[in-house]
Amino acid sequence: MSLNKLQAIVLAAGQATRFKTGNTKLIEKICGQEMIVFSAKLLEKLNIPTIFVVGYQKEIIENLVSKHTCCKPQFIHQEKQLGTGHAVACTKDLWNQKNILILNGDVPLVTQKIIEKLYKKHTESDAAISFVVSHYTGSDHAYGRVVEDEKSIRIVEAKDFNQDIYDEQCCINAGIYLIKTTFLKSCINKLTTKNASQEFYLTDLVQMACKKNLKVVTSYAPFDRIRGINDFEELWAAEQIKRSEIIKHWMKHGVRFHLAQKIHIDIGVQIGVGSTIGSGVHLLGNTAIGQNCNIRKFSTLENATIEDNVEIFPNTIIRDSYVSKHAKIGPFAHIHSESTIEQHAVVGNFVEVKKSTVGSHTKAKHLTYLGNATIGSKVNIGAGTITCNHDGVKKHQTIIQDNAYVGSNNTLVAPITIGKNSFTAAGSTITKDTPSNSLAIGRTRQINKENYAQKLLEKLKARSAFINKKNETAHVITPKKIQEKEL
């Protein structure tokens, strides 16, 4: 459906006092995407030229919207936040289409379908003003109520409502309007601040149209799609809805979830057919998971690319990194800062990989730190190996070439290269480059003193008796000694 002769205004200047954070609420994320980006992307998808009314922390909002949209949105500054009616009035020099779609910036879950339905009803009935309504059963002071009889219709803000809101069955105003520009031009300057909030209410336009005998049309939408986000509780509720929508989407695309209610997935995530996601897993940012992967419980993947047939064991963290097919990672592994794990590699328990490449078929299975390292293929990294990449001032590279065997508990002091097919002995501190095909031993040699055990035992007992005696005399403190001590 094409929406013609239309421009949009998004109201995004408010201070969000109910959030109490001191920041604009429009930058709070829902499943990884800032609230204001939802409406920006939707309007871009619908190809509607859009004006954003910005005010409080306007630079942040302008940057976000510009970053996430390709079309060039316009920004209008509302210096003082005098109400939604005033915000719309600030844009009037830019009105150049037959109809104007107005969206509150804090209604992120609104869909294309809702806008299209509103447009259809508005244009077909040639209304002066059309707006989206819904049902809300809460008794709190949120949402304008639609008060309607045969002859009139108006929106009364919750604060100005004198009857008991809880008992009222009337619809609420969703904050999404489609208005004929001629009507808007004739009425926008007639709004007043005679209300409980002493603000210019955009919603008063409904009553104005009605009084002029102009057509007013409402379009119904499910409440979950038009929830306004005024505090953290409402943000949480909206995120629950979005999250379950994302999970259901991937279920339909052949992804298995264990205890789906405990899983979080951001909007930008992709998951291949046949993959399984465990309980408590968080898939964040632009994470992309291939086919037939198994991401086991309590793992967190953020901006991670995982190729097909990868096994990620529980409690693993992968950030800004790449894992190639058939690799096995974890449990309790931490891979981050642009690391790459190549095909069939194994990165096991308590292994941290930072800014490093682990080659194909290489194994680092236990208790290891690999930082600023380039590790070839078919390398063995023994348990407890540490790359000492930082000298106190600068970071240095460790290179371990193909087929090398690094023994357990090695300390590799960078910059350093371990050559192809080389061995390093267990417990070594390796400070010099190791040529290919060699064995490096960097530790004190062991001496065995034969039959020395009994002698050692006697020596130890004698030393212990001597120390005990010394302590006994030292602990007898005379009153005189105490006095001296205190002085």
Q: Catalog residues that contact ligand UD1 under the rule CB under 6 A.
A: 11-14, 53, 78, 81-84, 86-87, 104-107, 143-144, 155, 157, 172-175, 201-203, 228, 230
Select from ligand UD1, Ca ion, none the partner in contact with residue 13, using the beta carbon and a kind-dependent cut-off of 5 to 8 Å. Answer: ligand UD1
Closer CB to ligand UD1, 153 or 202, in the complex: 202
- In DSSP terms, which residues pair with 294 in a beta bridge? 276, 311
Counting residues that bind Ca ion (by CB under 5 A) gives 3
Residues annotated catalytic, as ranges: 366
Nearest to 320 by CA among 294, 296, 333, 339: 339
Q: With CB under 5 A as the contact rule, which of the stretches 42-50, 102-110, 231-239, 356-364 interacts with Ca ion?
A: 102-110
Of 56-95, binders to Ca ion (CB under 5 A) are none
Q: Is 14 in the site for Ca ion (CB under 5 A)?
A: no
Closer CB to ligand UD1, 46 or 202, in the complex: 202
Distances (CA, A) of 174 to 155, 374, 379: 11, 56, 61
The span from the CA of 256 to the CA of 244, in Å, is: 14
What minimum distance in Å lies between the beta carbon of 14 and Ca ion? 8
Q: Is 290 in the site for Ca ion (CB under 5 A)?
A: no
What minimum distance in Å lies between the beta carbon of 133 and ligand UD1? 9
What minimum distance in Å lies between the beta carbon of 4 and ligand UD1? 26
Dihedrals phi, psi of 394, to nearest 5 degrees = -125, 160
Select from Ca ion, ligand UD1, none the partner in contact with residue 157, using the beta carbon and a kind-dependent cut-off of 5 to 8 Å. Answer: ligand UD1
- Determine the 3-state secondary structure of 216 from DSSP: strand
Select from Ca ion, ligand UD1, none the partner in contact with residue 64, using the beta carbon and a kind-dependent cut-off of 5 to 8 Å. Answer: none
What minimum distance in Å lies between the beta carbon of 114 and ligand UD1? 13
What minimum distance in Å lies between the beta carbon of 198 and ligand UD1? 12
* Pairing between β-strand 129-134 and β-strand 172-180 as defined by DSSP bridges: antiparallel
The DSSP code sequence of 412-432 is EESSEEE-TT-EE-TT-EE-S
Q: Is 348 in the site for Ca ion (CB under 5 A)?
A: no
The span from the CA of 227 to the CA of 142, in Å, is: 10
What minimum distance in Å lies between the beta carbon of 124 and ligand UD1? 25
Q: Which residue is nearest to Ca ion (CB)?
A: 228
Select from Ca ion, ligand UD1, none the partner in contact with residue 86, using the beta carbon and a kind-dependent cut-off of 5 to 8 Å. Answer: ligand UD1
Closer CB to ligand UD1, 172 or 383, in the complex: 172
Closer CB to ligand UD1, 99 or 230, in the complex: 230
CA angle 428, 430, 432 (to 5 degrees): 150
Q: Is 28 in the site for Ca ion (CB under 5 A)?
A: no
What minimum distance in Å lies between the beta carbon of 280 and Ca ion? 32
- Provide the 8-state DSSP code for 169: -
Q: If residue 206 lies in a helix (H) or strand (E), which one and from where to where?
A: helix 204-211
Select from ligand UD1, Ca ion, none the partner in contact with residue 358, using the beta carbon and a kind-dependent cut-off of 5 to 8 Å. Answer: none
Binding mask 216-235 for Ca ion (x = CB under 5 A): ------------x-x-----
Select from 34, 44, 106, 302 the one that contacts Ca ion (CB under 5 A). Answer: 106
Residues of this chain that interact with Ca ion (CB under 5 A) are 106, 228, 230
